[in-house]
Chains A and B, each alone.
Chain A
Amino acid sequence: MIYDWLFRLTGSETAAAIIQSLLPLFLFILPFALFAVLLERKVSAHMQDRLGPMRVGYHGILQTVADIIKLVQKEDIVAKDNDRLFFDLSPVIVFTGSYAAFAVIPFSGIFLGSNIDLGLIYIVAVTGLVVAGILMGGWASNNKYSLLGAMRAAAQIISYEIPTLLIILVVIMVSGTLNLYTLSEWQTSYFWNWLILGGPVFGIEKLLFIPLMMMSALIIFTSTLAEVNRTPFDIPEAESELVSGYHTEYSGMKFAMFFLAEYANMFAVAAIVSALFFGGFQSPFGYLGDLFNLPWLIPIEQFFWFTVKGIFFVFVQMWLRWTLPRFRVDQLMTFCWKYLIPFAFVILIIVGLITVLV
């Protein structure tokens, strides 16, 4: 574990903990956000037969770096009637909420922020903080559009947390653990043992699980997509209706924090989906490190696979964004309450019966 190594290096528990808690931010989230913004722009451009950013660096690879430099330089505009305290607090809370989720996400066999047994519940709880931040920002902006966006965001995130939780419950029933690290370890490094294909159990229940787990993966992907407020579930931001929703009034660094939180959230969600159903950091075909007897290679491979899976799901999110139009509010609620939740319940009951009977 990285923590033990850091502890030996610094000789102090506090220092090791602080360094470890900052590692994912600087080594992963910031570079990922830079990369994801560029990826988003490139993917959207090529899906519309455009080229996207081409000027800064080779094929615009430095575009997001330039954007960040611009954002940092920008003036921080605060309107007269903004509720100053909550206005300033909101981006911090939103970012904290999405960053705290990374504490329990296992990036690799040796890197895990906190190996707590309540990992999944912790993620659900802590991402709930994002709703508070968004609502706070929308309210403190003293702007009708912002408030509308924030209200929509709250309604949407709370609604879509229900199918997410139900599917997490399904996973818990099958695997018997809430710890994301053990969950990833449990799904061994061969893709037929992943939960999407019934988990590492053999017999009749594996066959029964396969369609159920595919449905579950679909439902949790959809509902988590809605939780991060992305198209087709982007009614809180809906730029054609609400300017840009709850962060209309924000500028400069505060806006950058919302932006960073959005991309961090995207990856967190992708990581959760991949950890639950696609083996987390596990390789799909075994490890080269095992094959050539190089034990140090395994964590690097695991990190590689984790990143690849995460980026793949982020790509699917972007892909959906440029495929589907935005939901109407009533459609959004219909989709959640009339389709996702009943389906999730039925899956929950069937999986419960199977686990009890078989």
Chain B
Amino acid sequence: MTYFLKFWQGLGTILIGMKVTFRHLFIPAVTIQYPSVKPELPERERNRLYVNMDDCIGCLQCARACPVDCIEIETVKSIPGEDLGKTSNGKKKALWVTKFDIDIAKCCYCQLCVFPCPTECIYMTDVYEFSEYERENLIFDFVTLTPDERQEKKKNYEEFLIKKEAEKAEAARKKAEEAAQKKPENNKEEDKLNDKDDKPKEQE
């Protein structure tokens, strides 16, 4: 008897299974036709970084926050008389950013660089299709200056430094001359100060 029962059960369960699969034949597919139809990304998705250089003040906070050191920044001080403009939230820019490379190949999309930025100029975009054949192509350069301009800024600053150095040297020389006249008094005062500093350290 169980023999026939098993046969009928088998037949019945096959029909139930077939009913299920047949119903699924008409359920709309969940497939998203990716390159032509893109899925809507969540609001706080983390993809490729972007830096808005107009707002960047070259503070290096993002580079310091980065756990994998994928951000490389070089800055050059502006020389007096150059106006770099202001950022969108009113901070005055004082540095020329001559290098701002983000190696996206290293980036771990942790978004830690985004929060420290005082001007909110580094942020995650919704671009996620940027595969490349060469790893070097994944180093993104965000600096808006042309290579010549970068060289020029560096040169300007170096010249300015040299000039300043010269001025300083001259000033120092003048100071030294002035100081030579008041020398005895100054030396005694300095010695006293040094003694006071040393004592607490010994006690510890």
Contact = CB atoms under 8 A, between A and B. Distances in A.
Contacts of B24: 46-49
A320 interface: yes
Interface in B1-47: 7, 11, 14, 17-18, 20-22, 24-31, 33
B18 A50 contact: no
Given A324-B14, A339-B7, A47 B21 contact: yes
Contact of A54 (B18, B27, B33): B33
A319 B21 contact: yes
A61 B21 CA distance: 23
Interface in A1-54: 43, 45-51, 54
Contacts of A46: 24-26, 29
A50 B25 contact: no
Given A54-B33, A339-B7, A49 B27 contact: yes
A322 B21 contact: yes
Contacts of B25: 43, 46-47
A247 B7 CA distance: 34
Given A323-B14, A324-B14, A339-B7, A51 B21 contact: no
A277 B203 CA distance: 109
B130 to A, nearest CB: 23
Contact of B18 (A49, A51, A319): A319
A324 B18 CA distance: 8
Interface residues of A, number: 17
A50 B14 contact: no
Interface string A157-191: 00000000000000000000000000000000000
A341 to B, nearest CB: 13
Contacts of A48: 24
A45 B18 contact: no
A324 B27 contact: no
B29 A51 contact: yes
Interface in A44-68: 45-51, 54
Nearest to A325: B17
A323 B21 contact: yes
Scoring A48, A50, A323, A339 by chain B CB atoms within 10 A of each residue's CB, the highest score goes to A323
Contacts of B30: 49-50
Given A47-B24, A339-B7, A324 B29 contact: no
Interface string A332-351: 00000001000100000000
A182 to B, nearest CB: 32
Contact of A50 (B11, B20, B21, B29): B29
B3 to A, nearest CB: 8
B33 A51 contact: yes
A118 B25 CA distance: 41
Contacts of B7: 339, 343
Contacts of A47: 21, 24-25
Contacts of B26: 46
A320 B11 CA distance: 12
A317 B30 CA distance: 25
A339 B11 CA distance: 12
Contacts of A324: 14, 17
Contacts of A54: 33
Interface in A75-106: none
Contacts of A45: 29
Scoring B17, B20, B25 by chain A CB atoms within 10 A of each residue's CB, the highest score goes to B25
A331 B171 CA distance: 101
Contacts of B33: 51, 54
Nearest to B15: A323
Contact of B29 (A43, A49, A218, A323): A49
11 contacts: A46-B25, A46-B26, A49-B24, A49-B27, A49-B29, A50-B29, A51-B33, A54-B33, A323-B18, A323-B21, A339-B7
Task: Pick the 6 closest A-B CB pairs, nearest first.
Answer: A51-B31, A323-B17, A51-B29, A323-B21, A47-B21, A46-B25
Given A49-B29, A320-B14, A324-B17, 5 more contacts: A46-B26, A47-B24, A50-B31, A319-B18, A320-B18
